[in-house]
Structure 1
Amino acid sequence: MDQPDRDGRTVADGRSGRRPASSRPGRPAATGGAGTAVADRPRSGWRQRIRTTLDLIRANPTGRVTLKIFVAVAGALVVTVGIALIPLPGPGWLIVIAGLAIWAVEFHWARRLLGFTRRHVHNWTRWVTSRSLPVRFVLGSVGLVFVATVVWLSLKYSLGIDLVARLLHYLATN
């Protein structure tokens, strides 16, 4: 039974259905010395090794299902830890994005969402860096106030610790 692979191409009998790089549409075959196609040479690099390993795993129907389950569980664990860390100071959102990147290995929706996130973070960063120093200072201050408010509310409602009340009590006794 034919099934689409992760890139939307039809896969029959467990094969990946991918064409060599030189015959893919829109990609001319680059040639190296002595007329050999560069795409036919084995590439070195960790990305190519990972891609090759994943293609080998996907070539087997059991491996394909196992890989999907592993990626789904690993991504869910990382995203869950990241979401738990969002209210705390630290890399909560970065961990959520890392979990999304893990899901993007196997799931098209995650690849699209990751691309959307990268685009908007890049556009935001470019916009902020093009502003004057006072505007960046105000944006940074608003960000710090937001993070402080989230930390205060998280501690107050999840652990029952009211930092503002404690600080006011401390200042009143001293």
Structure 2
Amino acid sequence: MNTGSNGLEVVVADGAKPAQDGPAAPAESGQPAERPLGSRAPEFIKKRRTLHVSWQVGVFVAGLAVVSAGVAMLVLPGPGWVVIFAGMAIWATEFVWAQLVLRWTKRKVSEAAQRALDPRVRRRNIILTTVGCVICAVLAGLYLWKFGITLPWKIES
């Protein structure tokens, strides 16, 4: 089974240079460079195949437990998505596919944050929030006008 953690396999497109092993160098575009893909296991573990496979199984099981807990928290009380991404981060310490998923997710979250900071979008969101609050206040006023402060159900003591 090839997990992609034994070596660096990069597809080069548009004349871009492939990533090098070792510490990431700063990108020319001014954005922080991404870490190279592959296993982040200690070197003494990578040198022994049996130990490395055992390490990968342990990382997979730990990540699976965290992701499963996050999925359960989607319907139960708890921070489901945060826990799911924490499990993905655990997997990303060892598996290239999880590293790529996390990079894609980080890129999409950054793009959404930049769109949210756009003055036109902020203005629209403020207007929509204000309209929603006015509608809720009108509905609460109508309820109080029709029923008063008393609750519509009787509770006997």
TM-score normalized with structure 2 length: 0.55
In structure 1, C-alpha distance between the alignment counterparts of 2:54 and 2:74, rounded to whole Å? 30
CA shift for structure 1 position 79: 0.3
Q: 1:96 to 1:61 in 2, by over 3 A?
A: same
Amino acid at match of 2:46: R
Partner residue in 1 for 2:65: 77
Counterpart in the other structure of 1:115: 103
| Partner of residue 45 from structure 2, selected from 40, 44, 57 | 57
Q: Distance in 1 between matches of 2:56 and 2:127?
A: 44
* CA deviation vs aligned residue, 1:78-104 (integer Å, no higher than 9, x gap): 000111112345421111011001111
Residue of structure 2 equivalent to 1:97: 85
Match of 2:7 in 1: 8
- Write the letter of the residue equivalent to 2:53: V
The answer to which structure, 1 or 2, has the higher relative contact order (CA under 8 A, 6+ apart) is 2
1:66 equivalent among 54, 77, 90: 54
Aligned counterpart in structure 1 of residue 122 of structure 2, from 132, 144, 149: 132
Report sequence identity in percent.
Answer: 31
Give the aligned length.
109
Which sections of structure 2, spanning at least 5 residues, go unmatched?
10-19, 26-39, 133-150
Which deviates more from structure 2 when the two are superposed, residues 108-117 or residues 86-95? 86-95
Separation in 2, partners of 1:111, 1:126 = 23
Change in CA separation of 1:135 and 1:20 when aligned onto 2, cut-off 3 Å: closer
